[in-house]
A and B are shown apart, each in its own frame.
Chain A
Amino acid sequence: MSLALIEFKEAALGYQKGRPVLTGVDFVVDSGAFWGILGANGSGKTTVLKTLLGLIDPLQGKVLARGREDARARFGYVPQKERLDPIYPLSAFDVAAMGTYRSFEPLARFRRKNKRAFIENCLDDCGAAALAGQPYSALSGGQKQRVLIARALAAAPEILVLDEPLSGIDASTQKALLELLNRIKHEHDLTVLMVSHRIREEKSLFSHIAWVEDGRVLVGKAAEMLAQGRLAEVFWSEL
């Protein structure tokens, strides 16, 4: 039986009081669903994502986790890979290990044998075990994305949130990443929310779609939403 993990209740989302980017946001993310948060660039997809992760508070209304305002879902977050500065001298393993930094453990470095095996497993799950020792900054786009997905898995999440994970990646790597996402979703029993401004390969994975446009968020089951004229119009070349 599915459980309401996240619930947006009549929420207004944005960055400044009195100037909401999105209003009347009202939808429920059930456990086990695969949501596509779609819309054109600048439509407000990232605003939905930031509110969901707790980076910004809703201007009005509520965002509930498991039906409670004071609860927090366990997120695994995959940001846009370009957002992470390559100047840091971190290996792929170091980056993946950040997923385990959920709590303050000042002496973690002295007793991390078990944790190391866990992180290596996460990298292995994402087909990135061989990259563990490589400098993160030297990896290709697809490899970085695998490492970031491994990092999200290392956070032992119930919800995996991905921000444009396929942008700037070649078609064959995109396909491989989507297969990976589909596999880990089922193996780890995850709920997935994926922000995208396109809908080519990934449309077959979505169970639900949140369509962000003109300050509103339209939601529905993927099959129904994709059949609607408006999405077909916007994504005419992709549907």
Chain B
Amino acid sequence: MTLLAILKPDFLLHHAVYGSLAVGFVCPLVGVYFVLRRLVFWGVALPQVSTAGIAFAFLLQGLGVRLLAGQEGHEKHLAIIGAVLFTAATIFILAWYERHGQGSNEGRIGALYAIAGAASILFVAWNATGESEMLGLLKGEIVSISEADFHAMLNIFAAVTAALLLFQREFTLVSFDRDMAVALGRNAGLWDLLLYSIIGLTISLGVMTVGPLVIFGLLVLPAMAALPWARGMMALSLTASALGGLSSLAGFYVSYRYDLPLGPMIVCAAFAAFASSSALRALKHLWVRPKSY
């Protein structure tokens, strides 16, 4: 099986390939702001919170609480709602604490990661029904996604990408110099809210698709790999996105070819990009003087 063959629409797992690619391209666009705003630890904790949200939604269902009418794909819709609600609420609380709270931000995120991880396991343990399917969703079950959900996911990721590129000026301004944004009369709070909403949506959908480990890897590694070479925010976003997409493709190919787990292979590919970037940067510092943009 060649690399090109797995990209063909008649490939048995084409949903899985395109889904992984979509996550690979979109997550680094969000990850750029994690790295620049020095919120990398959010990238660890939020996918875990999203996972807890999925597990909680399933627990409610297991306890007989009916939130949605029963139909095909009902569990996945429930999981998405749980993930989005948990992630969005956590982001807004973290953002509020970051601006107004006292004490250690890293400490808060560490505590959040610990409790979200514990809660995910407990929610699964307390749920008597559908444990195996739920565990699959918690790890990211792109292979079992329905045609309708697959297209809905692609549409949402397309909207996220359009918003991130369209509002890049505003997101850069409020991230780089929030006070200047306010001095210019811009509603910095509103732009922060929009950025955080986009982050929450991307992470929630991403966790459902490829699991929390891969999401963290794709949030951080491609952006870190692109940062030393980028000249401007657009270049950084596009380079990180391209590296994320390539990592997903390479990870999927190796995983399929050698029958290895998909998620860890995507993370390894993204890490290879980061390691290569770091090595090249070290070489550049040895031999080349810094140039102007």
Contacts and interface: CB of A to CB of B under 8 A. Distances in A.
Interface stretch (A121-129, A131-139, A177-185, A217-225): A131-139
A161 B183 contact: yes
Interface residues of A, number: 35
Contact of B231 (A55, A89, A104, A161): A89
Given A94-B232, A134-B293, A72 B185 contact: yes
Given A79-B177, A98-B176, A138-B290, A55 B186 contact: no
A54 interface: yes
Contacts of A83: 177, 179
Contact of A104 (B170, B172, B227, B290): B170
Contacts of B35: 87
Nearest to A56: B182
A102 interface: yes
B195 to A, nearest CB: 14
Contact of A89 (B169, B181, B230, B290): B230
A53 B227 contact: no
Interface in A69-115: 72, 75-77, 79, 83-85, 87-91, 94-95, 98-99, 101-102, 104-106, 108-109
A118 to B, nearest CB: 15
Contact of A108 (B169, B173, B185, B234): B169
Nearest to A15: B100
Contacts of B233: 88-90, 94
Contacts of A90: 172, 176, 232-233
A29 interface: no
Given A98-B177, A133-B293, A134-B292, A91 B231 contact: yes
B183 A89 contact: no
Contact of B179 (A55, A91, A135): A55
Given A88-B36, A89-B227, A104-B170, 16 more contacts: A55-B179, A77-B179, A77-B180, A84-B176, A85-B36, A85-B38, A87-B35, A87-B38, A88-B233, A89-B231, A90-B172, A94-B233, A108-B169, A109-B169, A135-B290, A135-B293
16 contacts: A85-B36, A87-B36, A88-B172, A89-B227, A90-B233, A95-B176, A98-B173, A101-B173, A101-B181, A101-B186, A104-B170, A105-B169, A106-B166, A138-B290, A155-B184, A161-B183
